[in-house]
């Protein structure tokens, strides 16, 4: 399947709603277009998923056989790796080399979770209680079963299309669920190829069902559907709250990986050259369009000026450009809407007297590019750009004096997705890790990941965990069984 064939196939998909253009964020020109699938398509997809689940064609298949099919998905992803990378690079504007690094990680989701197909088991319990309605418990046996939820809706965002798709589809398959997959309307390209790969690998018809449409149409219909038992969503906190409200009809279970305003603490004893470079890349990579990007940096006062200058120097020297521009390291924002949002925060900051050390403007060229921006003199109590998730290449840097002040500043947020501390004092590092209110804390490193390590948020950054054992169990429910012997 060639890149052009994916673009053509997307255009041919049936639908009853509005025609949705897919825009190249580098050129601002249309790549292709597709039709919103419409509410009837959502009902049909849920019905197919329900039928496949009730038939047992997937979840009743022996775990070893499901694992073989998931390995085939991974092998096919390796075969189509360049196509997947080119699609995501074209669709998001990210450097091709970045997309090429991501795709092998995505394939490994299926290999990793293939192993769990034969390893998720319930537990036997020795009954300890005495007495009870039926008398003694001496001859009682109790155990638990792990069973798939059934039909699940998987909704993922535009900032890492194929990565986010695989992070949800792989554990849902391992758990035995049937799913409806809904990519962001901005980035539908790689999801279409992935859907073809899943079918080619031998996943039975109806087990994975792709829907394309707007969030407020297809996404809303999916989250409110009475025959969907669970929704797993990655995206903004605002939309996450809407999904919670929509799930109330049948009290469907919800897993949410939401926004962040991640703090980075840099101490005066840190390896400053490394801390400066990693903190800069930790916010400017992908133009800050990452939920774990470190958008609030706090620096111990003795090295504050050096760190501000260092991060600003990195920002000034990062080349922005499209996938085919030599030396380009930083991609554009995804859309005109996102560009307007980011520039709006910057304009408000200028009116409030924020100091712009570097950046702060749209790049003078075609495409949705915003200069990597370093801000100081920000009021933590009143500044919206300090408090709210911008999802752009914008970082605020403030000084601190001691651990207590650093932790207080870091935790003063409604979010709690990730946090980082840079210090060579390992005792301090681990003490700080316990005090930071975040689902992931990195010490002397940033933007690290492993399929086996759970990922989730504190506070308004989400519910539940992805990756690892927690990731597959998120798509399963526990049944307790009692037996009189």
pLDDT tens over the chain, length 485 residues: 678 888 888 998 889 999 999 999 999 999 999 999 999 999 999 999 999 999 999 999 999 999 999 999 999 999 999 999 999 999 999 999 999 999 999 999 999 999 999 999 999 988 887 665 655 566 888 999 999 999 999 999 999 999 999 999 999 999 999 999 999 999 999 999 999 999 999 999 999 999 999 999 999 999 999 999 999 999 999 999 999 999 999 999 999 999 999 999 999 999 999 999 999 999 999 999 999 999 999 999 999 999 999 999 999 999 999 998 999 999 999 999 999 999 999 999 999 999 999 999 999 999 999 999 999 999 999 999 999 999 999 999 999 999 999 999 999 999 999 999 999 999 999 999 999 999 999 999 999 999 999 999 999 999 999 999 999 999 999 999 999 88
**Of 106, 117, 291, 293, catalytic:** 291
| Known catalytic residue at 291 | yes
Evaluate the CA torsion angle 126, 132, 138, 139 in order and state its sign. Answer: negative
The class of domain 3-258+461-484 in CATH terms is alpha beta
Instruction: In whole angstroms, give the CA distance from residue 425 to residue 453.
Output: 24
Instruction: In whole angstroms, give the CA distance from residue 195 to residue 198.
Output: 5
Q: What angle do CA 383, 389, 392 make, to 5 degrees?
A: 105
Cβ atoms of 175 and 120 within 8 Å: the answer is: yes
Does the fold of domain 263-450 match that of domain 3-258+461-484?
no
Cβ atoms of 183 and 156 within 8 Å: the answer is: yes
Kindly report, residue by residue over 106-138, the tens digit of the pLDDT: 999 999 999 999 999 999 988 887 665 655 566
Domain ranges of the chain: 3-258+461-484, 263-450
How many Cβ atoms sit within 10 Å of the Cβ of residue 376?
A: 17
pLDDT of residue 89: 97
Evaluate the CA torsion angle 59, 169, 204, 247 in order and state its sign. Answer: positive
DSSP 118: T
| Known catalytic residue at 257 | yes
Q: What angle do CA 384, 389, 394 make, to 5 degrees?
A: 85
How many Cβ atoms sit within 10 Å of the Cβ of residue 150?
A: 20
Reading phi first (left if > 0) and then psi (alpha if -120 to 50, else beta), residue 274 is in: alpha
Provide the H-helix boundaries in 176-271.
189-201, 220-224, 237-246
Strands 373-376 vs 355-358: parallel, antiparallel or unpaired:
antiparallel
Instruction: In whole angstroms, give the CA distance from residue 179 to residue 193.
Output: 17
pLDDT of residue 133: 61
Nearest Cα neighbor of 267 from 471, 444, 58 is 444
Q: Is 322 exposed, middle or buried (0-12, 13-18, 19+ CB in 10 A)?
A: buried
Task: Please report which helix (H) or strand (E) contains residue 264, including its range.
Answer: strand 263-266
pLDDT of residue 1: 63
User: For 264, what's the count of Cα atoms within 13 Å in the CB-facing half-sphere?
Assistant: 29
Instruction: In whole angstroms, give the CA distance from residue 398 to residue 376.
Output: 6
pLDDT of residue 8: 86
Q: 154 forms bridges with which residues in the sheet?
A: 181, 232
**Of 185, 186, 229, 257, catalytic:** 257
pLDDT of residue 333: 98
Instruction: In whole angstroms, give the CA distance from residue 390 to residue 258.
Output: 13
Instruction: In whole angstroms, give the CA distance from residue 265 to residue 420.
Output: 6
Instruction: In whole angstroms, give the CA distance from residue 116 to residue 111.
Output: 9
263-450: CATH number? 3.40.309.10
pLDDT of residue 485: 84
Q: Model pTM? A: 0.95
């Amino acid at each position: 399947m060639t890149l052009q064939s994916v673009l053509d196939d997307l255009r041919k998909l049936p639908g009853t709603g509005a025609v949705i253009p897919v825009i190249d964020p580098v050129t601002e020109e249309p790549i292709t277009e597709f039709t919103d699938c419409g509410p009837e398509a959502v009902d049909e997809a849920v019905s197919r998923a329900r039928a496949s689940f009730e038939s047992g064609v997937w979840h009743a298949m022996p775990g070893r056989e499901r694992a073989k099919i998931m390995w085939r998905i991974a092998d096919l992803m390796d075969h189509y790796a360049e196509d997947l990378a080119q699609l995501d690079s074209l669709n998001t504007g990210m450097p091709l080399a970045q997309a090429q690094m991501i795709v092998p990680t995505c394939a490994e989701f299926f290999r990793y979770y293939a192993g769990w197909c034969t390893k998720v088991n319930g537990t036997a319990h020795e009954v300890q209680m005495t007495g009870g309605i039926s008398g003694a418990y001496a001859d009682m046996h109790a155990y638990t079963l792990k069973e798939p939820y059934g039909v699940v809706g998987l909704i993922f965002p535009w900032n890492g299309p194929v990565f986010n798709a695989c992070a949800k589809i792989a554990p849902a398959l391992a758990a035995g669920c049937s799913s409806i997959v809904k990519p962001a309307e901005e980035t539908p390209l790689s999801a279409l190829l992935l859907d073809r790969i899943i079918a080619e690998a031998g996943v039975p018809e109806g087990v994975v069902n792709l829907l394309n449409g707007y969030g407020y149409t297809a996404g809303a219909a999916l989250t409110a559907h009475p025959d969907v038992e669970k929704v797993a969503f990655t995206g903004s906190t605002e939309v996450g709250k809407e999904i919670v409200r929509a799930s109330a009809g049948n009290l469907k279970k919800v897993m949410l990986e939401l926004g962040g305003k991640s703090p980075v603490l840099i101490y005066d004893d840190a390896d400053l050259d490394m801390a400066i470079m990693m903190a800069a890349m930790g916010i400017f990579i992908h133009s800050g369009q990452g939920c774990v990007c470190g958008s609030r940096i706090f620096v111990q006062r003795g090295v504050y000026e050096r760190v501000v200058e260092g991060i600003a120097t990195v920002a000034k020297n990062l080349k922005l450009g499209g996938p085919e521009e030599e030396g380009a390291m930083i991609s554009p924002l995804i859309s005109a809407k996102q560009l307007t949002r980011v520039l709006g925060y910057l304009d408000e900051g200028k009116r409030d007297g924020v100091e712009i050390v570097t950046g702060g403007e749209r790049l003078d060229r075609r495409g949705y590019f915003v200069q990597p921006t370093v801000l100081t003199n920000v009021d933590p109590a009143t500044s919206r750009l300090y408090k709210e998730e911008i999802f752009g290449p914008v970082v605020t840097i403030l000084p601190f004096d001691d651990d207590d002040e650093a932790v207080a500043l870091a935790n003063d947020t409604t979010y709690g997705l990730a946090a980082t501390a840079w210090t060579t004092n390992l005792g301090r590092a681990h003490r700080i890790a316990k005090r930071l209110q975040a689902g992931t804390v990195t010490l002397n490193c940033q933007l690290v990941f492993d399929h086996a390590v759970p990922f989730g948020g504190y506070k308004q950054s989400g519910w539940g965990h992805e990756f690892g054992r927690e990731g597959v169990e998120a798509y399963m429910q526990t049944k307790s069984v009692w037996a009189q012997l």
